[in-house]
Chain A
Amino acid sequence: MSNATPMLEIKGLHARAGDAEILKGLDLVVGVGEVHAIMGPNGSGKSTLANVLAGRPSVEVTAGSVLYQGRDLLELAPEDRAKEGVFLAFQYPVEIPGVSNAYFMKAALNAARVHRGEEELDGMDFLEFAREKMKLVEFDEALLNRGINEGFSGGEKKRNEIFQMAILEPRLAILDETDSGLDIDAIKVVANGVNTLRAPDRSAIVITHYQRLLDYVVPDFVHVLVDGRIAHSGGSELAHELEKKGYGWLEVAPAEAPAP
Chain B
Amino acid sequence: MTTLGAAHAHFVSRFGDCEAQLADSSPAWLAPVRRAAIERFAELGFPTRKNEAWKYTSVAKIAKAALDPDPPARNGVSREDIRAFLGSEAAQGWLVFEDGRFAPELSSDDALPTGVEAGGLADALDVHTELIRPLLDREDALNRPFAALNGAFQRDGAFVRVTAGAAPERPIQLLFVTSPGASGHVANPRNIIQIDRGAKAAVMLRYESCCKDVYWTNAMTQILLQENAELDLITVQSESDTAYHFSSLDVSQQRDSRFRSHYISLGGALARSDIYARLDAPGVDCALNGLFLVDGEQHVDSQTTMDHAGPLGTSRELYKGILGGHSRGVFNGFIRVRQDAQKTNAQQFNPNLLISDGAQINTKPTLEIFADDVKCTHGSTVGRLDEDALFYLRARGMDERSARQMLTIAFASEITKAIPQESLRAQVERLVAAKLERSQVTTGTA
Measured between C-beta atoms, what is the minimum distance from A166 to chain B in Å? 13
**Stretch of B125-133, B165-173, B400-408 lying at the A interface:** B400-408
Q: Is B391 an interface residue (CB 8 A)?
A: yes
Q: Which 3 A-B pairs have the closest CB atoms?
A: A98-B410, A82-B397, A98-B413
Q: Is the CB of A79 within 8 A of B399?
A: yes
Given contacts A57-B387, A94-B388, A94-B392, contact A112 B397 (CB under 8 A): yes
Q: How far is the CB of A173 from chain B (nearest CB, A)?
A: 12
Q: How far is the CB of A129 from chain B (nearest CB, A)?
A: 16
A96-B392 contact given A79-B398, A111-B399, CB 8 Å threshold: yes
A57-B387, A104-B393, A105-B396 are known contacts; what are 9 more A-B pairs with Cβ within 8 Å?
Answer: A54-B395, A58-B387, A79-B399, A82-B397, A97-B414, A98-B413, A99-B409, A115-B397, A168-B397
Is B80 part of the contact surface with A, judged by Cβ < 8 Å?
Answer: no
Residues of chain B within 8 A (CB-CB) of A104 are 393, 396, 406
Interface residues of A (CB under 8 A from B): 54-58, 77-79, 81-83, 88, 90, 93-94, 96-99, 104-105, 107-108, 111-112, 115, 147-148, 164, 168
Q: How many chain B residues touch the partner (CB < 8 A)?
A: 25
Q: How far is the CA of A57 from the CA of B444 in the complex (A)?
A: 15
- Residues in B neighbouring A82, C-beta threshold 8 A: 394-397
Q: How far is the CA of A14 from the CA of B80 in the complex (A)?
A: 62
A96 CB to closest chain B CB, in angstroms?
5
Query: Quick check: A108 and B398 within 8 Å, CB to CB?
Result: yes
In the complex the two chains form, is A108's CB within 8 Å of B397's CB?
A: yes
B422 part of interface (Cβ distance < 8 Å): no
CA distance A105 to B396 in the complex (A): 8
Q: How far is the CA of A85 from the CA of B403 in the complex (A)?
A: 18
Q: Which residues of A contact B417 (CB under 8 A)?
A: 98
Given contacts A94-B392, A98-B414, contact A111 B398 (CB under 8 A): yes
Question: What B residues does A83 contact at CB under 8 A?
Answer: 397
Given A77-B400, A79-B400, A94-B388, CB of A88 within 8 Å of CB of B410? no
Do residues A56 and B391 form an inter-chain contact, with CB atoms below 8 A?
yes
In-complex Cβ contact of B391 among A57, A107, A147 (8 A): A57
B208-242 vs A, Cβ < 8 Å mask (1 yes, 0 no)? 00000000000000000000000000000000000
Q: Across the interface, which residues of A come within 8 angstroms of B397, CB to CB?
A: 79, 82-83, 108, 111-112, 115, 168
Q: B411 near A: Cβ within 8 Å?
A: yes
Chain A residue with minimal CB distance to B406?
A: A99
Interface residues of B in 394-443 (CB under 8 A from A): 394-400, 402-403, 406-407, 409-414, 417
Which of A77, A99, A111, A168 contacts B407 (CB under 8 A)?
A99
Near A by CB (< 8 A), chain B positions 378-394 give 386-389, 391-394
Tell me, rounded to whole Å, the shortest Cβ–Cβ distance linking A61 to chain B. 16
Complex CA–CA separation, A81 to B399 (angstroms):
11
**Chain B nearest Cβ from A199, distance in angstroms:** 20
Instruction: Give the Cβ gap from B188 to chain A, nearest Cβ, in Å.
Output: 38
A81–B412 Cα distance when bound, in Å, is 29
| Contact yes or no, B398 A88, CB < 8 A | no
Q: A96-B407, A99-B410 in contact; A77/B394 too (CB < 8 A)? A: yes
Give Cα A98 to B429, complex, Å: 12
A3 to B395, CA, bound (A): 30
Q: In this complex, what residue of A is CB-closest to B394?
A: A78
Please tell me if the beta carbons of A96 and B395 are within 8 angstroms of each other in the complex.
Answer: no
Q: Which residues of chain B have C-beta atoms less than 8 A from A88's C-beta?
A: 395
Complex contact B411–A98 (CB within 8 A):
yes
- CB contact between A93 and one of B392, B399, B402 (< 8 Å): that residue: B392
B402: A residues at CB distance < 8 A: 107, 111
A97 CA to B415 CA, complexed, in Å? 13
Whether the pair B396, A108 counts as a contact (CB closer than 8 A) is yes
Listed A/B pairs (28) with beta-carbon separation below 8 Å: A55-B394, A56-B395, A79-B397, A79-B400, A81-B395, A82-B394, A82-B395, A82-B396, A82-B397, A83-B397, A88-B395, A90-B392, A90-B395, A94-B386, A94-B388, A96-B389, A97-B410, A98-B410, A98-B417, A104-B393, A104-B396, A107-B398, A107-B402, A108-B396, A115-B397, A148-B392, A164-B396, A168-B396
CB distance from A103 to the nearest CB of B (A): 8
**Residue in B386, B398, B412 whose Cβ sees the most chain A Cβ within 10 Å:** B398
Q: Which residue on B lies nearest to A149, using beta carbons?
A: B392
Nearest A-chain residue to B411, judged by Cβ: A98
Cα A111 to Cα B410 in complex, Å, equals 19
CA A107 – CA B392 in complex, angstroms? 13
